[in-house]
């Protein structure tokens, strides 16, 4: 059984159909990418998955449990963490307080200090800035903080929305290396990313969305060489 199973998912914004019956699955330990143009429905998919918007119909199952009727905070407790587009860190709080809030739903409070140290080892920049107000960090540091905050909930799967957006090329490479490290440490990743080439390079499988439908899916290594994908998303 797949860890995450999305089946015939429909989502509307008023009269507009944002998702038109998409189905896909994510297995434990995979990195899966959703690629597609702006407005294809990628962010809507993630928001529906993490309980931020409601599905019109269809099913989202996480380890066999239906999520479409589950409140967002319960979804976090079940082991799904969301790194949202635009980072959405708590701008007026320190780096450390942002990380602590990432662990808000956890019952094992005694393990939180050790996990904060682990995050500092993974993101040394955050350790240097732990007492700094998060809103004063650079874009790349804010992205690292958003990722670190998500990992503080000890998730089984991390859902990431455009983690490389607006970053310099060198920082983009750093962020993708961190995503690979997250996967190596045993956490599954579902990635939405404009930088299709980088996303496919680190993914096991990928799904291509166009106007609310999945039009192509397969092994990432196959899609990266697919002529239609190259033309539409890889700028070739």
Structural domain boundaries in the chain: 25-60+68-233
Res. 107: pLDDT tops 80: no
Nearest C-alpha neighbor of 142 from the set 159, 123, 156: 123
Model pLDDT, residue 21: 96
Give the model's confidence band at 10: pLDDT under 50 very low, under 70 low, under 90 confident, else very high: very high
**Predicted local confidence at residue 236, as pLDDT:** 58
pLDDT for residue 235 = 67
236/220 Cα distance (integer angstroms):
17
Say what percent of the chain tops pLDDT 90. 56
Contact 126, 95 (CB under 8 A): yes
Q: What is the average pLDDT value for the chain, to the nearest integer?
A: 90
* Predicted confidence (pLDDT) at residue 22 exceeds the cutoff of 90: yes
What is the model's pLDDT at position 109? Answer: 85
d(CA 81, CA 102): 9
Q: What is the pLDDT of residue 165?
A: 87
Rounded to the nearest 10 degrees, what angle do helices 139-151 and 112-122 cross at? 140
Class of domain 25-60+68-233: alpha beta
* 171 pLDDT above the threshold of 90: no
């Amino acid at each position: 059984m797949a860890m995450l199973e999305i089946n015939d998912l429909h989502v509307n914004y008023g009269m507009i159909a944002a998702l038109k019956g998409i189905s896909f699955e994510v297995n434990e330990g995979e990195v899966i990418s959703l690629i597609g143009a702006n407005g294809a429905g990628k962010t809507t998919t993630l928001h529906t998955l993490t309980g931020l918007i409601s599905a019109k119909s269809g099913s989202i199952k996480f380890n066999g449990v239906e999520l479409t009727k589950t409140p967002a905070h319960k979804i976090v407790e079940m082991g799904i963490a969301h790194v949202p587009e635009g980072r959405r860190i708590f701008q007026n709080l320190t780096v450390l307080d942002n990380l602590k809030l990432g662990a808000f739903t956890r019952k094992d409070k005694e393990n939180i200090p050790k996990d904060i140290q682990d995050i500092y080892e993974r993101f040394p920049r955050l350790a240097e800035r732990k007492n700094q107000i998060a809103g004063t960090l650079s874009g790349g540091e804010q992205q690292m903080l958003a990722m670190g905050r998500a990992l503080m909930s000890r998730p089984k799967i991390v859902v990431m929305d455009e983690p490389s957006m607006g970053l310099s090329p060198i920082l983009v490479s750093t962020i993708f290396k961190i995503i690979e490290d997250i996967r190596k440490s045993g956490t599954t990743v579902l990635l939405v990313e404009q930088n299709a080439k980088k996303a496919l390079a680190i993914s096991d499988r990928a799904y291509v969305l166009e106007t609310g439908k999945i039009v192509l899916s397969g092994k990432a290594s196959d899609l990266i060489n697919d002529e239609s994908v190259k033309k539409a998303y890889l700028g070739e």
